[in-house]
Amino acid sequence: MSAWTRLAEPLRLFNLFLLSMGLFQVVVVNIAPLEAGALGPDHWRSAQRRLVVVDKTGDRGWQQATRHAVDVWNQAAGPTGVRLTWTTGSGTCSPDRVRISVCTASAARLGGGRTANRQGRADVELDPDGHNLGAFVLVCSDCRPSEARRRVIATHEIGHTLGLSHTPRLSSVMLHTGGAERPDDLDAAEVRSLYEHVDGPLRCGVFNLRLGTFCL
């Protein structure tokens, strides 16, 4: 066997390896954006679906409302998929991984007016592939909503942090003006369908390779 023949086989295998890596990259790059588009943005990836709602309002009325929101969204989501737990806390609100903080803010800061958009607001931070990375909710400190109205606002805004958008249905909690106090059957179907898939880990770069703190 000549030196060249001995070298040829490993070279051929290495070439095959390079070719398959190239194909793999093309497939991954092309499929990933399609999946994200098909599922829509703004939902929590599989590893982050045990979410804590931290009520930092220090207000008994809002605490009852956020607790209600956690209960009704858990009922709507069913035993699998996304799961919320409730607790109180203190401090300011900013996007916070796997914790949805709720704080109060003046109606002026929320835009004034009477719609849920103005009495409450949800902010969501997305990772590079469109999944939620963190979220927080602001509710009005000075617009004096009734107890029932607080339940509507809290449930509506937490619905946004779970990935639901506005609907024109009067029975929906996601009606743009605030809607009902709890998700209707279609809201429940939507939150279930948003979370019935399983996500892989977040890609960190072209080669999706982590070497300590480096990402290739």
Of 14-22, 25-33, 85-93, 197-205, the segment contacting Zn ion by CB under 5 A is 197-205
Q: Which is nearer to Zn ion, 59 or 129 (CB)?
A: 129
59 touching Zn ion, by CB under 5 A: no
Token output for 43 = 């939902």
User: Least distance from C-beta 75 to Zn ion, angstroms?
Assistant: 20
User: Least distance from C-beta 34 to Zn ion, angstroms?
Assistant: 13
Of 2-10, 15-23, 57-65, 191-199, the segment contacting Zn ion by CB under 5 A is 191-199
Q: Which is nearer to Zn ion, 96 or 199 (CB)?
A: 199
129 touching Zn ion, by CB under 5 A: no
Contact of 62 with 102, CB cutoff 8 Å: yes
84-101: buried (b, 16+ CB within 10 Å) or exposed (e) per residue?
Answer: bebeebeeebebbeebbb
d(CA 146, CA 106): 16
DSSP states of 31-55: HHHHHHHHH-SS-B-GGG-EEEEEE
User: Least distance from C-beta 122 to Zn ion, angstroms?
Assistant: 7
Q: Which is nearer to Zn ion, 22 or 200 (CB)?
A: 200
Of 24-32, 75-83, 186-194, 195-203, the segment contacting Zn ion by CB under 5 A is 195-203
Q: Which is nearer to Zn ion, 48 or 88 (CB)?
A: 48
**91, 110, 98, 197: which is closest to 157 by C-alpha?**
110
| Identity of the residue numbered 107 | A
199 touching Zn ion, by CB under 5 A: yes
96 touching Zn ion, by CB under 5 A: no
User: Least distance from C-beta 101 to Zn ion, angstroms?
Assistant: 18
Cβ-Cβ contacts under 8 Å for 54 (sequence gap 6 or more): 87, 88, 89, 96, 99, 100, 101, 102
Contact of 63 with 88, CB cutoff 8 Å: yes
Q: Which is nearer to Zn ion, 84 or 164 (CB)?
A: 164
User: Least distance from C-beta 106 to Zn ion, angstroms?
Assistant: 18
Provide the sign of the torsion angle of the four alpha carbons 203, 205, 211, 212, taken in this order.
negative
User: Least distance from C-beta 35 to Zn ion, angstroms?
Assistant: 8
Token output for 2 = 């000549």
Binding site for Zn ion (CB under 5 A): 199
